[in-house]
Structure 1
Amino acid sequence: MALIAFVLLGIALSTHAAVYITPEQIHLSYGVDPTQMVVTWSTMNATQTTVGMIALQASLRPSYTPVEGTSEKFVDPGTLHHTQYIHTVIFTGLIPGQIYVYRVGTRPESVWSDQFTFHAMKDGTDWSPSVALYGDFGFSNHQSLQRLSIDKDKNMYDAILHVGDLAYDMDSDNGYVGDKFMNMIQPLAAELPYMTCPGNHENAYNFTHYKARFNMPTDMNGDNMFYSFNMGPVHFISLSTEHYFFLQYGVTQILRQYYWLIEDLEEATKPENRKLRPWIITMGHRPMYCSNTDKDDCTKWHSIVRDGIPFIHKFGLEKIFYEHGVDLMFWAHEHSYERLWPTFDDKVYNGSLKEPYTNPRAPVHIITGSAGCQEDHDSFIPDPRGWSAFRSDDYGYTRMKVFNSTHLYLEQVSDDKDGAVIDSLMIIKDSHGPYKN
Structure 2
Amino acid sequence: MVKIWGLVAIVLIVLVQNVSSYDRPGTRKNLVIHPSSDDPLSPDQVHISLVGPDKMRISWITKGSAMPTVVYGTTSGKYEGSATGTTSSYHFLLIYCSGRINDVVIGPLKPNTVYYYKCGGPSSTQEFSFKTPPSQFPIKFAVAGDLGTTEWTKSTLEHISKWEHDVFILPGDLSYANFLQPVWDTFGRLVQPLASQRPWMVTNGNHEVERVPVLHRQSFTAYNHRWHMPYEESGSTSNLYYSFNVFGVHVLMLGSYADFAPGSDQYQWLEKDLKSVDRKTTPWLVAVIHAPWYNTNEAHQGEKESVDMKESMETLLYKARVDLVFAGHVHAYERFNRVYQDKFDKCGPVYINIGDGGNLEGLATVYKKPTPEISLFREANFGHGHLVMANATHAHWEWQRNDDDVSVEKDSVWLTSLSADSSCQI
What TM-score comes out, normalization by structure 1 length?
A: 0.81
Deviation, 1:303, is: 1.4
SS in 2 for 1:41: strand
Equivalenced residue count is: 378
Q: Distance in 1 between matches of 2:79 and 2:299?
A: 53
Q: Distance in 1 between matches of 2:244 and 2:227?
A: 15
Would you say 1:324 and 2:320 are equivalent positions? yes
- Structure 1 residues 333 and 150: alpha-carbon distance in aligned structure 2, compared to 1, 3 A threshold: closer
SS in 2 for 1:211: helix
The equivalent residue for 1:289 is: 294
Deviation, 1:382, is: 2.6
- Unpaired stretches in structure 2, ≥5 consecutive residues: 1-36, 211-217
- Structure 1 residues 416 and 298: alpha-carbon distance in aligned structure 2, compared to 1, 3 A threshold: farther
Q: Could you tell me which amino acid in structure 1 is paired with residue 128 of structure 2?
A: F
- Please give the root-mean-square deviation of Cα atoms over the aligned residues, in Å: 2.5
Deviation, 1:404, is: 0.7
- Structure 1 residues 426 and 72: alpha-carbon distance in aligned structure 2, compared to 1, 3 A threshold: same
- Structure 1 residues 365 and 303: alpha-carbon distance in aligned structure 2, compared to 1, 3 A threshold: same
Deviation, 1:189, is: 0.2
Q: Distance in 1 between matches of 2:317 and 2:236?
A: 22
Q: Could you tell me which amino acid in structure 2 is paired with residue 53 of structure 1?
A: V
SS in 1 for 2:265: helix
1:15-414 pair list within 5 angstroms: 19-33=39-53, 35-47=54-66, 49-57=67-75, 62-65=77-80, 67-106=82-121, 110=123, 112=124, 114-123=126-135, 126-139=136-149, 141-154=150-163, 156-169=164-177, 172-173=179-180, 175-204=181-210, 205-217=218-230, 218-221=233-236, 223-244=238-259, 255-268=264-277, 273-297=278-302, 303-307=307-311, 316-349=312-345, 360-379=346-365, 380-414=367-401
Deviation, 1:113, is: 5.3
Would you say 1:419 and 2:415 are equivalent positions? no
* Cα offsets for 1:205-244 (capped at 9, x unmatched): 3111111112222254564211111112111110101125
Deviation, 1:144, is: 4.4
Maintained 8 Å contact 2:288/2:325: yes
Deviation larger for 320-329 or 223-232: 223-232
Maintained 8 Å contact 1:368/1:397: yes
Deviation, 1:381, is: 2.0
- Structure 1 residues 62 and 164: alpha-carbon distance in aligned structure 2, compared to 1, 3 A threshold: same
Q: Could you tell me which amino acid in structure 2 is paired with residue 304 of structure 1?
A: D
The equivalent residue for 2:30 is: none
- Structure 1 residues 192 and 164: alpha-carbon distance in aligned structure 2, compared to 1, 3 A threshold: same
* Cα offsets for 1:340-377 (capped at 9, x unmatched): 0111001112xxxxxxxxxx321110000001101101
- Structure 1 residues 425 and 298: alpha-carbon distance in aligned structure 2, compared to 1, 3 A threshold: farther
- Structure 1 residues 426 and 98: alpha-carbon distance in aligned structure 2, compared to 1, 3 A threshold: same
* Cα offsets for 1:31-86 (capped at 9, x unmatched): 111x2111001112222x111121113xxx74213523223331232231323211
Deviation, 1:147, is: 4.6
Maintained 8 Å contact 1:339/1:367: yes
Q: Could you tell me which amino acid in structure 1 is paired with residue 194 of structure 2?
A: L
Which is greater in Rg? 1
Q: Distance in 1 between matches of 2:207 and 2:137?
A: 35
Q: Could you tell me which amino acid in structure 1 is paired with residue 327 of structure 2?
A: W
Q: Distance in 1 between matches of 2:307 and 2:191?
A: 33
SS in 1 for 2:329: coil
Q: Could you tell me which amino acid in structure 1 is paired with residue 407 of structure 2?
A: G
Q: Distance in 2 between matches of 1:298 and 1:133?
A: 24
- Structure 1 residues 433 and 259: alpha-carbon distance in aligned structure 2, compared to 1, 3 A threshold: farther
Maintained 8 Å contact 1:337/1:366: yes
SS in 2 for 1:319: helix
Q: Could you tell me which amino acid in structure 1 is paired with residue 309 of structure 2?
A: V
What TM-score comes out, normalization by structure 2 length?
A: 0.83
* Cα offsets for 1:11-31 (capped at 9, x unmatched): xxxxxx962221101000011
> Quick one: percent identity of the two aligned structures?
26
| Runs ≥4 residues deviating over 3 A | 219-223, 297-300, 432-437
- Structure 1 residues 383 and 436: alpha-carbon distance in aligned structure 2, compared to 1, 3 A threshold: farther
Deviation, 1:288, is: 0.5
Maintained 8 Å contact 1:131/1:401: yes
Q: Could you tell me which amino acid in structure 1 is paired with residue 74 of structure 2?
A: L
Q: Distance in 2 between matches of 1:66 and 1:97?
A: 17
SS in 2 for 1:376: coil
Q: Distance in 2 between matches of 1:73 and 1:215?
A: 11
Q: Distance in 2 between matches of 1:151 and 1:372?
A: 13
SS in 2 for 1:242: coil
